[in-house]
């Protein structure tokens, strides 16, 4: 089959542009196969990273048709099918029939949130620096008997299976919306590794680590829960889920006075538990105003509250949702199961 590979090119002297290459390929050929074919047969100047070709090293991460993925994992057939499905979802007036029948085009670009060095090669310094910032190593002082191995039970080791699958490809970091707007946020890859250490029975610095991960919006509270990191992870590490687990550990140790981020979560759950959904009259006052303790926070609400009032969008009463008792029961059940899980550990 014929396919057009449209690649975002970049050179420090020439700037950025897109260049298209027409290839004869098989549906089972990977995107990395296509890049190799271009490099070897059409354009030796094309730059990209690769290594294992077996979805192990993570070197060939790049944006393929708009989302970050491994070039050695994705193949032409699947990408063409995905594109055709997307095209058919578009309003018919916006899509010409010829667009669906022509030579399929696959667009490849460098990963996001990192500066481009050349073509598909990005500078991953911030990625590695943020990983280092969470200290992703088991503490050596946990090894109380240095003369022998520090053994784990199968149950203890199983806690590391999912996060241990991370190959540090950078796909989640590339798609992270929080990282795009907040340069202090360490990123989903770092926090997934952070939870891997927290879950490791050999580590003895959990409390110190949790304090670090709880700091401002550079840690777990910087995550906007957009789910992109989970959707693009090629190894099903689910970084957002791991961030949520760290938040859970922090929330168990802190009360609502600790910070606005913690108060936001606790107030949200408490209000939903009480009424089935959020009572908007109370939410901002309790979170920003810290239960009327924070005068500065209350003053911040003034302009927004006034505009809301003038536009008649401020609710003056609150009616619990249908099924509030069921919602309350579910919250209590989840809390009970979490507590039982902690006891079993």
**With 60 as the cut, is the pLDDT of residue 62 above it?**
yes
Tracing tokens 């399929």 back to the chain, one arrives at 104
Confidence of residue 8 (pLDDT cuts 50, 70, 90): very high
Q: What's residue 44's pLDDT?
A: 97
pLDDT at 91 over 60: no
68 — phi, psi (to 5°)?
-70, 135
pLDDT value of residue 188: 98
pLDDT, position 95: 55
Domains recognised in the chain with CATH numbers: 2-117 (3.10.20.30), 124-253 (1.10.1060.10), 260-344 (no CATH)
250 CB-side CA count, 13 A: 28
Give the per-residue pLDDT at 342.
Answer: 67
Q: For position 96, what pLDDT does the model report?
A: 56
User: Rounded to an integer, what distance in angstroms lies between the CA atom of residue 255 and that of residue 270?
Assistant: 13
Order of strands across the sheet that contains 61-64: 15-24, 2-11, 105-109, 61-64, 67-70
- Mean pLDDT check: name the lowest of 52-66, 74-88, 217-231: 74-88
The string of pLDDT tens digits covering residues 238-284 is 999 999 999 999 999 998 888 889 999 899 999 999 999 998 888 98
| Confidence tier at 70 by pLDDT (50, 70, 90) | very high
What's the mean per-residue pLDDT of the chain? 90
230 pLDDT above the threshold of 60: yes
Query: Got the DSSP string for 153-220?
Result: -HHHHHTTHHHHT----SHHHHH-HHHHH-TT---HHHHHHHHHHHT-TT---HHHHHHHHTSTTTSG
């Amino acid at each position: 089959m014929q396919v057009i590979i449209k690649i975002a090119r970049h050179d420090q002297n020439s700037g950025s542009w897109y260049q298209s290459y027409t290839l004869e390929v098989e549906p089972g050929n990977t995107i990395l196969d296509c890049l190799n074919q271009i490099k070897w047969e059409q354009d030796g100047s094309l730059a990209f990273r690769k290594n294992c070709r077996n979805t192990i090293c993570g070197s060939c991460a790049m944006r393929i048709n708009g989302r970050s993925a491994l070039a050695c994992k994705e193949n032409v057939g699947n990408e063409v099918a995905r594109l055709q499905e997307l095209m058919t979802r578009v309003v018919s007036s916006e899509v010409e029939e010829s667009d669906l029948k022509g030579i399929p085009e696959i667009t490849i670009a460098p990963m996001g949130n990192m500066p481009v060095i050349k073509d598909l090669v990005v500078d991953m310094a911030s990625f590695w620096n943020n990983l280092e910032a969470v200290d992703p190593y088991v503490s050596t002082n946990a090894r109380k008997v240095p003369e022998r191995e520090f053994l784990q039970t199968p149950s203890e080791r199983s806690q590391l299976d999912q996060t241990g699958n991370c190959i540090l490809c950078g796909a989640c970091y590339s798609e992270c919306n929080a990282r795009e707007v907040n340069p202090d946020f360490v990123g989903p890859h770092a926090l997934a590794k952070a939870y891997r250490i927290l879950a490791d029975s050999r580590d003895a610095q959990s409390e110190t680590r949790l304090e670090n991960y709880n700091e401002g919006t550079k840690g777990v509270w910087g995550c906007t829960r957009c789910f992109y990191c989970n959707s693009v992870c090629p190894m099903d590490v689910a970084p957002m889920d791991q961030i949520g687990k760290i938040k859970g550990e922090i929330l168990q140790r802190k009360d609502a006075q600790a910070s606005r981020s913690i108060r936001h979560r606790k107030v949200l759950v408490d209000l939903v538990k009480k009424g089935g959904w959020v009572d908007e009259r109370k939410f901002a006052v309790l979170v920003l105003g810290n239960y009327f303790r924070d005068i500065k926070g209350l003053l911040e609400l003034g302009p927004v509250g006034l505009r809301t009032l003038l536009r008649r969008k401020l609710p003056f009463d609150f009616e619990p949702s249908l099924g509030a008792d069921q919602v309350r029961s579910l919250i209590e059940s989840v809390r009970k199961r979490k507590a039982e899980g902690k006891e079993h550990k």
